[in-house]
Amino acid sequence: MENTREKNKRSDGRKKTYFDRENKKKAVRIEKTKSVAPEKGKQKKSSSSSKCPYQKKCGGCTYLNLSYEEQLAKKEQFLKKTLKGIVPVKGMVGMENPYHYRNKVNSAFARKKDGTIISGIYEKGTHKVVPVDECLLEDQRADAIIRDIRSLLKSFKIMIYNEDSGYGLLRHVMVRTGFASGEIMVVLVCVSPVFPSKNNFVKALRKLHPEITTIVLNVNDRTDSMVLGKRDIVLFGRGYIEDELCGCTFRISPQSFYQVNPVQTKNLYEKAISLAGLTGNERVMDAYCGIGTIGLIASRDAREVISVELNPDAVRDAVTNAKRNQIKNVSFYQNDAGAFMVSMAEKGEKADVVFMDPPRAGSDEAFLSSVVTLSPKKVVYVSCNPETLARDLRYLTKHGYKAEEAWGYDMFAWSEHVETVVLMSKQRNKDQLPGRDGEIRQLNSLRVYGQSEVRADGLCRS
């Protein structure tokens, strides 16, 4: 994001577009601090509002009444207000094309009283399915596949699950697409592993959409609102797709966490790693590592990366991703990241940089305390919730860290959500020393395994 640019300045000074020579694409940045949200009654209507007949019932795209430029300004204003007095917000990075960016589509299914099968989204605050054929945010290939699945269900006489009666089979369909690879995964979420005429159904679907690379049956017999169950049965292909991000290839299983906006994820991760200022000599901790994305990307510029994740399925994918990319300087641990960092600190270990990307609820005090105990030189915090981010930054600033700068990224165009990356630096003290020899010292009581293995005690290493 720091490359030579050709800039176009608007007369109002609010928006700058630039051409990134290295990545050969345009981007949008809102930079000046005086950006304000449009006044009530004076908002410029977006042409997008007339394109979405589902807006009122869906409730997802709360900013469809604004132009894209106006919503970026509104998000920047909100971010600056929320983080005021904590960290300076340097800018808001938008998208060149804020449509059809979602690489994961979840579609709920239902049957109307007249027997018609419908698919779409739940009406806001309910479990009533609103029929949706096309969404402004979703990958258009995914929408087309879901429409054809709806037709096939009728042909094959597949029963739609009814939450009230508990009868039926199919609950949801999830489609995941690889932005760079073009690979497509279809996940049929059913209450039973028995899918009538499954081979013929798969054959018929692939005839309509030969671009599909894998089809998975996910068994979800739970009574809660979770979309996916724990059991996956591969009906066709490998049971996963791969995609490329920042020069690394990642395996994406049905249950893997992978950012839904691939273009902005690349921009966000590049900025996060740039803020860390890696020179090749650092020991890096990747907390909440998921399938290993940011840690594996950062490993090219670090001496060693220690990645910690509690979800065993995500850890397995992370280990596979390290092997797939022939990365040897990353260790993966299935553990609570906070407890793991406390254990490291108790053994006299240090980390130079900690990357953290918690869920919307943010981090808890126990985790933040463990960061302070480990005492890294830098903390790079990626957040999808500015309010919990502000809370966590206040804690860290009270315990020896300075929030240097923040950048907003529009990962969820047309919604009110904003992603943020913040650099925090440890205020100099005599105890801030690097680790030794790139090894986790005095952890000999913990068995560490080879790259392709994940054992029952929850530790693995690449």
Instruction: Catalogue the active-site residues.
Output: 384
8 A C-beta contact, residue 108 and residue 225: no
CA distance 418 to 116: 38
Provide the token pair at 450.
């080879």
Provide the token pair at 444.
């000999």
> Residue 363: how many CB atoms within 10 A of its CB?
25
CA distance 285 to 300: 14
8 A C-beta contact, residue 410 and residue 94: yes
CA distance 382 to 321: 21
Residues β-bridged to residue 407: 91, 421
What distance lies between CA 309 and its chain's CA centroid? 15
CA distance 460 to 462: 7
Residue type at 111 in one-letter notation: R
| Residue 303, helix vs strand vs coil | coil
H helices, E strands: number in the chain: 10, 20
User: What DSSP letter does each residue of 376-438 carry, written as one string?
Assistant: -SEEEEEES-HHHHHHHHHHHHHTTEEEEEEEEE-SSTTSS--EEEEEEEEPP-TT----STT
What is the rounded (10 degree) CA torsion for 356, 357, 363, 369?
0
In the chain the first and final C-alpha atoms are separated, in Å, by: 30
What is the rounded (10 degree) CA torsion for 107, 105, 122, 160?
10
8 A C-beta contact, residue 426 and residue 377: yes
What is the rounded (10 degree) CA torsion for 228, 201, 144, 240?
50
Q: Residues 6 or more apart from 257 whose CB is under 8 A from it?
A: 290, 291, 314
CA distance 363 to 356: 9
User: What DSSP letter does each residue of 167-206 carry, written as one string?
Assistant: --SEEEEEEEE-TTT--EEEEEEESSS--TTHHHHHHHHH
